[in-house]
Structure formats: C-alpha cells, structure tokens
C-alpha cells in the first residue's frame, strides 16, 4: 500500500481554555477524495490549518510522504504540494482573471515588469488544465460564484499541487454548478491529485468522496469508506445523537383566506406574473435554478424591487415601495448572504439583534440599555444562540449561531410573514435542525406564514406544506410536500435547464 501523502499522528492543538484537536490521527493518500465532516467547532478548520502549515501543534507528529516534518509552516506546505481554497477564494476582485491566475507565478519568477502576453499565456494554460472557458479579460468581481471558484482552483493547480483542500466549496452553488464542480474534482483526481473536501452537505459527501472522516469536539469519531455511510450515520457521528427527518404536517386549512395573497406580480424581466398564497401558520417552499427569479421575487415582496401587481396581507392591499413599508406591514426578510447583507460583523450580538426593531429598545428619543439587553437576552434564549454573553461580536460566532441572530432579529419585529432565503446555507446539521424546529414552532404557535427559499431539497420536503418551482420568472410547478419525493424534485429541476 502507498505511503500516505499527509499523516497526522496523535496531534493535539490547544487554545486558551480549550482543546481544538485532541490526539487526532488522520491520513490522506495520493489521488483520493476524502470528505471531512463535523459541526462548527468540531476541529475541522484547525486540522486544515495544521495540514496547510498555518498552525503549529502542541503534541503529536506530522509526516509528509512517510517522513516526520518539523517546523511545518505555510512555505513548507506549499513546497509539499498542499493548496487550500477557502470559502472567500482569496482572489483580487478588481483584477482580471488573467491577472489573478498569473500573479503568483510572475512574483515567484521575480519579474520586475509585467508582460501582458506572458500573463495571458499563463492564464490560458491554467484554465486549459481544467478544460474550462472563462474570459481572461473579465474582472473577477463580475464573475459568478461558480466561475470565481474555478479561477481559484485553476490558480491553485498552477503550482505542483499534490493535495487540494476545499473548504465548503458548494455553499453558494446551484445544483447545476455543483455537478460542474464535481466533474472538475474528478478530473483533478485523475491527474493524481488528492482532494480533501470539507462540507456540511451529506448528500454531496456521499456522492463525491471515497472515504469519510467525522470529527466531534476535537476528536475523530468515525472514519471509513463512503459506502459504509448513510446520512443517518454521518448525522449521528457529528452530533452524538439521532436527528429526526420526519415531515412537518401543517394543521391549517387552505380553504381559509390566505394571510398573504399575491396576484400578477412582476418585477422587471426577472419576475413575471407570479400568483402566490401563504396561509396562517403555513411554510411554503420555493426553489429554482440560478436566474429563476426567486430572490428577485423575495426582494419585491420586501419592498426592495420595483414591481407591479397586487399584494394583500390579511385582505388589505399593500403598497410596498420600500423596506420600511414592508416592515410596517408585517413582512420580514432574512437574506441569502448573512455576512454581507444580514449582520454587522464587528458589532455585538445585542446591537445586531435589536437593529430591525430599534423602537422596542428606546425610551423617548433615547436608547434604553436595559431594554436592549433584555430583548437581546430573550432572543439568545429563544433562538438557543450559543454565546457566553450578548457583547460578543457577531463575527465571532459560528455560521449556525450567526444565522440564528439574523432570524431572531426579524422575529423581534413580530412579523406576520417571514421570507427565508437560504435559511441554513453553510450551517451544520445540528444548527440546521434547531433553526427548523424554531421556525416550525413559531408558524404553529403564532400563525406566522413562511416562504422558505432553498436549494436544499430535503430541507423543503421536511419543513414545507407545499413546494413551488420557479423558472425564468414564473412559477412552473406546485407540489404537495407531504407526498413528493426528493428524486422527483431533483428530476423536475434538471428538466428546467
């Protein structure tokens, strides 16, 4: 049997007050695809940073090609052929594709002047290795997430890469883009390169990997060939207990007047003549391919997109010319990107929580600190946000806890309609289950009507009463979530391409 490309033996990494890794053994062999699974805080990121030389470790041993290595820093990791693609891709958005691809090579060659011809040649060669076509003169900031990711992969492979580490690579990708990425990953493997694939999405782990390793609380708790795993086993290993996947049953009556009624809603060229009803306490799912118009529909309902058509809330016609109009009417919107649209990352949890309902924390014209703290503490309790105190900055929380802060903030506005756009993107399985529990509970107990927009088909099936499919600005399919199967929805979505 071949020597492992990288091996950790009994590695322990400590931070003040905690063990991030506790006696971990880990191996990855040449040209294999391994998935690393675990909840936020399980030790995945720490392992990645040790393997890539960013972190040193306190105990244990690291081996490359079977040989122990000391002082394994980033330069040594790169020299060993290890490259990491983080979630932000670490690209320069204001530079062109060719400039991003060629920059490191030109710097390593010690060139004083940039030769545009040489730059384009390097860029073209990098993309040719992946057999993809992207405009070399396009500014990276104008590319889709999927194309930016391909640029990052192409750049990583310009060196003598032997191990490519991909951290949550499918978080912002559509189903079609995930298929394209997986084809590229398999091509990389065929070239003899190993891939360490870090993901929260179990269906994808089972599809792309040959071996799965699961971490919990800094320890490796499960490992084996992918064929020995299913979603239930991965979930149990990640959380330490079983998480139910029973379907939510709405107890309402769809013959009653809807809470939200939309007729003939159009917004530019992206939303065309949409009819939609949401009843009290009902959770309705909405899915569709990239460019289907689903986010634009959500933004129109939240007063962020100029639109025509009729919108009624509890029978009353609404004019939604602004976000303020929507909030005043009782509509709340949790956006798709919590980092750039949903949170003030450098502000405390308390201020984030109260941002959309500031009037509830004022006394006359002044902010009342006691009221603010009481509301923040109540939200932390209700949403089960894991934090030592409400003064901790939102950027210091895990992805799941950040999402709970965003949802909790909007719940403080006492909405009648809640629009959730990608409610559990980048969230681990435990936090996902907790977010789902809270949304179901609120819908059932308060009559909150929920529009859940998601690419995660199991999420829609488990939580929704009905599922709508959108294509080219129109709702083209309406499904009963109580009886539809996952493969059926995937098949219908593929048929829309």
* Of 35-44, 240-249, 488-497, highest mean pLDDT: 35-44
- Mean pLDDT for 61-74 is 92
- Mean pLDDT for 418-430 is 85
> Is there a shared CATH topology between the 6-239 domain and the 260-496 domain?
yes
- Domain coordinates in residue numbering, the chain: 6-239, 260-496
pLDDT at 335 over 90: no
pLDDT score recorded for residue 339: 59
Instruction: Give the pair of three-digit tokens for residue 104.
Output: 């490191």
Residue listed under structure tokens 């303020």: 324
pLDDT at 114 over 70: no
pLDDT score recorded for residue 171: 74
pLDDT at 172 over 90: no
- Mean pLDDT for 423-428 is 80
Residue listed under structure tokens 């509970």: 441
pLDDT at 145 over 60: yes
pLDDT score recorded for residue 90: 85
Question: At the fourth CATH level, which superfamily is domain 260-496?
Answer: P-loop containing nucleotide triphosphate hydrolases (3.40.50.300)
Distances (CA, A) of 149 to 158, 172, 202, 287, 367: 15, 10, 21, 23, 44
pLDDT score recorded for residue 1: 58
Label residue 53 by pLDDT band (50, 70, 90).
very high
Label residue 108 by pLDDT band (50, 70, 90).
low
Nearest-angstrom CA–CA distance, 437 and 445 = 12
Instruction: Give the pair of three-digit tokens for residue 236.
Output: 């149990």
Judged by average pLDDT, the poorest of 198-202, 209-213, 436-440, 479-483 is 198-202
- Mean pLDDT for 409-413 is 83
Nearest-angstrom CA–CA distance, 390 and 375 = 10
- Mean pLDDT for 407-425 is 87
pLDDT score recorded for residue 352: 77
pLDDT at 96 over 90: yes
The beta strands (E) that lie in 347-421 are given as 362-363, 366-367, 417-421
- Under DSSP, the state recorded for 248 is P
pTM of the model: 0.74
pLDDT score recorded for residue 411: 84
pLDDT in tens, 294-322: 999 999 999 999 999 999 999 999 999 99
Nearest-angstrom CA–CA distance, 141 and 97 = 9
Label residue 195 by pLDDT band (50, 70, 90).
very high
Mean pLDDT (the chain) is 88
pLDDT score recorded for residue 77: 94
Question: At the fourth CATH level, which superfamily is domain 6-239?
Answer: P-loop containing nucleotide triphosphate hydrolases (3.40.50.300)
- Mean pLDDT for 249-253 is 85
Contact status, residue 47 vs residue 26, Cβ threshold 8 Å: yes
Print burial letters for 171-186: b (CB count within 10 Å at least 16), e (below 16): bbbbbebbebbbebbe
pLDDT score recorded for residue 412: 82
SS3 content of the chain, % helix, strand, coil (to 5): 35, 25, 35
Residue listed under structure tokens 């991909």: 166
pLDDT score recorded for residue 111: 64
Q: Say what angle helices 116-130 and 97-108 make with each other, to 10 degrees.
A: 110
């Amino acid at each position: 049997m071949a020597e492992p490309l990288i091996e950790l033996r009994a590695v322990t990494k400590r931070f003040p007050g905690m063990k991030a890794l506790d006696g971990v053994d880990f191996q990855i062999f040449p040209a294999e695809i391994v998935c690393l699974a675990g909840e936020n805080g399980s030790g995945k990121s720490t392992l990645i940073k040790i393997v890539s030389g960013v972190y040193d470790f306190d105990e244990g041993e690291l081996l490359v090609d079977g040989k122990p290595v000391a002082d394994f820093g980033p330069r040594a990791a790169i020299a060993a052929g290890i490259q990491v693609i983080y979630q932000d891709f670490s690209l320069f958005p204001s530079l062109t594709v060719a400039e991003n691809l060629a920059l490191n090579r030109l710097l390593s060659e010690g060139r004083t002047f940039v030769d545009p011809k040489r730059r384009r040649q390097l860029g073209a060669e990098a993309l040719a290795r992946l057999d993809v076509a992207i405009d070399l003169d396009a500014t990276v900031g104008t590319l889709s997430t999927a194309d930016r990711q391909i640029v990052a992969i192409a750049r990583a492979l310009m060196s003598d890469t032997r191990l490519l580490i991909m951290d949550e690579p499918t978080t912002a990708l559509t189903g079609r883009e995930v298929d394209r990425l997986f084809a590229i990953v398999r091509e990389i493997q065929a070239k003899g390169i190993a891939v360490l694939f870090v993901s929260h999405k179990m269906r994808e782990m089972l599809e792309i990997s040959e071996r799965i390793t699961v971490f919990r609380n800094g320890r490796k708790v499960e490992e084996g060939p992918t064929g020995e795993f299913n979603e239930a086993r991965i979930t149990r290993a990640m959380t330490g207990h079983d998480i139910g996947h029973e379907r939510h049953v709405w107890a309402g009556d769809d013959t009653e007047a809807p809470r939200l009624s939309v007729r003939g809603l159009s917004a530019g060229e992206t939303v065309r003549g949409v009819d939609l009803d949401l009843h009290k306490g009902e959770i309705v799912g909405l899915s569709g391919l990239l460019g289907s118009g689903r986010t634009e529909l959500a933004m129109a309902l939240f007063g962020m997109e100029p639109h025509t058509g009729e919108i009624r809330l509890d029978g009353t016609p609404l004019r939604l010319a602004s976000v303020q109009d929507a909030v005043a009417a009782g509509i709340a919107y949790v956006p798709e990107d919590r980092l750039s649209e949903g949170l003030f990352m450098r502000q405390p949890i308390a201020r984030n929580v109260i941002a959309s309902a500031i009037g509830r924390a004022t006394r006359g014209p002044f902010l009342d600190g006691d009221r603010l703290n009481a509301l923040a503490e109540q939200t932390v309790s209700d949403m089960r946000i894991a934090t030592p105190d409400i003064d901790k900055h939102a950027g210091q929380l895990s992805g799941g806890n950040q999402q709970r802060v965003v949802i909790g903030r909007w719940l403080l506005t006492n909405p009648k309609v809640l629009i959730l756009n990608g409610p559990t993107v980048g969230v681990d399985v435990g936090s996902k289950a907790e977010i789902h529990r809270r949304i179901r509970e609120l819908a059932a107990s308060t009559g909150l009507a929920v529009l859940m927009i998601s690419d995660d088909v199991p999420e829609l099936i488990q939580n929704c009463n009905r599922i709508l499919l959108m294509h080219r600005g129109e709702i083209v399919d309406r499904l009963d979530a109580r009886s539809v199967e996952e493969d059926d929805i995937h098949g219908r979505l593929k048929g829309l391409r």
